Amino acid sequence: MKIVIINYGAGNIQSIKFAIQRLGYTAILSNSIDEIQAADKVIFPGVGEASSAMHKLQNSGLDAVIPTLKQPVLGICLGMQLMCNTTEEGHTKGLGIFNVDVLKFSDKVKVPQIGWNQIDKLKSELFTGISNEAYIYLVHSFYAPLCKETIATTNYEHAYSAALQSNNFYGTQFHPEKSSLVGEAILKNFLLL
């Protein structure tokens, strides 16, 4: 299986590569459009600030390529947020794969949310074998509200989308690569799609 982690200069991608290695697979880091299109599975990571990450995608032409991919694609954290219509962070236009606008948590709660929270109302093959209320690791200040494409919810200030799915596109707000055994099982489910 050919697994490509899109390497566009946004954040810590070693961790995802290592997590896939621990599952017994090999992933390559690449920003080559040909390699990404030829992959069996594509992982779209992202850490940092939305508008600068979006600029990096645009500079490499990946903003036009990602929405046309046909194989399973998994956006993680900022990657998932950039797959939405827009994000409030830096007033950034996203890839429009998920039909939802990303918003900022209010100051009623501590921002960023950092730590382990629970996923609930799971509905996707991504969560095969995972029980509701399982703990996953999150670090974020912006969130995707609940929408038609929500496949898992988390509560912080209010319920929001912990994961999204539209056809072959998946996104998790949490970091499966840092979510211990639960995260590894979710990553494995993705690789087995």
Partner 1 sequence: MLAKRIIPCLDIKDGRTVKGINFLDLRDAGDPVELAAIYSREGADELVFLDISATEQKRKTLADLVYRVAEKINIPFTVGGGIATVEDVDILLQNGADKVSINSSAVKNPQLINDLVAKFGSQCIVVAIDAKQIDGEWIVHLVGGKVPTTLRLFDWAKEVEERGAGEILFTSMNNDGTKNGFANTALAKLSEELNIPIIASGGAGTMQHFTDTFTKGKADAALAASVFHFKEIKIEDLKTHLKENKIPVRL
Give catalytic residues, as residue numbers.
Answer: 77, 175, 177
Asked if 139 is part of the footprint of partner 1 (rule: CB under 8 A), the reply reads yes
In 36-177, where do the E strands start and end? 41-44, 73-76, 84-87, 92-93, 98-104, 113-119, 134-140, 142-143, 150-156, 158-166, 169-172
Q: How far is the CB of 22 from partner 1 (least distance, A)?
A: 7
Distances (CA, A) of 131 to 23, 26, 32, 126, 182: 20, 27, 37, 12, 9
Asked if 123 is part of the footprint of partner 1 (rule: CB under 8 A), the reply reads no
Rounded Cα distance, 142 and 111, in Å: 9
Nearest to 136 by CA among 114, 168, 157, 158: 114
- Residue whose CB is less far from partner 1, 36 or 186: 186
* Beta strands 134-140; 98-104: pairing state: unpaired
> Which 16-35 residues touch partner 1, going by CB under 8 A?
18-19, 21-22
Q: How far is the CB of 115 from partner 1 (least distance, A)?
A: 5
Q: How far is the CB of 25 from partner 1 (least distance, A)?
A: 14
Write the interaction track for partner 1 spanning residues 141-160; mark x where CB under 8 A is met and - where it is not.
x-------------xx----
> Which 39-68 residues touch partner 1, going by CB under 8 A?
47-49
Q: How far is the CB of 155 from partner 1 (least distance, A)?
A: 7
Residue 91 has what DSSP assignment?
G
Write the interaction track for partner 1 spanning residues 77-116; mark x where CB under 8 A is met and - where it is not.
------------------------------x--xxxxxxx
Sign of CA pseudo-dihedral 17, 23, 26, 31: negative
Asked if 179 is part of the footprint of partner 1 (rule: CB under 8 A), the reply reads yes
Task: Point out which residues bind partner 1 (CB under 8 A).
Answer: 11-12, 14-15, 18-19, 21-22, 47-49, 107, 110-118, 135, 137, 139-141, 155-156, 175, 177-181, 183-184
